[in-house]
Amino acid sequence: MNETRDLHEQVREQGERKRRAEREHDTLLSQTIYIGTLGLTMVLPIVGGAYLGRWLDGMSEGYSMRWTLSLLLLGVVLGAVNVYLLIRE
């Protein structure tokens, strides 16, 4: 009798674990949204830095790429930090 109760208890616990795992399992849509968010988090600072640098270089006389390259590099660093912080959560 005691062995039967233990078996029922084990089966019930396994069923609960299975249902909990199915509820907590990430769907393809949620994974796709997460990857898209990571991409935007990386790309937006880079593009913003490039545009702002290009605008600042256009304001100066002559041919200059100093601001564009500087802010582009800063955008890469900021994007990488953003992605790291997002993944760490």
Q: Summarize the confidence of residues 18-39 as an average pLDDT.
A: 82
Q: Which has the closest alpha carbon to 78: 59, 57, 58, 50?
A: 50
Report the share of the chain in percent with pLDDT over 90.
49
Per domain, the residue ranges of the chain are: 2-88
pTM: 0.67
Would you say residue 63 has pLDDT above 90? no
Question: How many Å apart are CA 40 and CA 80, to the nearest integer?
Answer: 11
Most confident of 9-13, 14-18, 36-40, 73-77: 73-77
**Secondary element (H or E) of residue 32:** helix 28-59
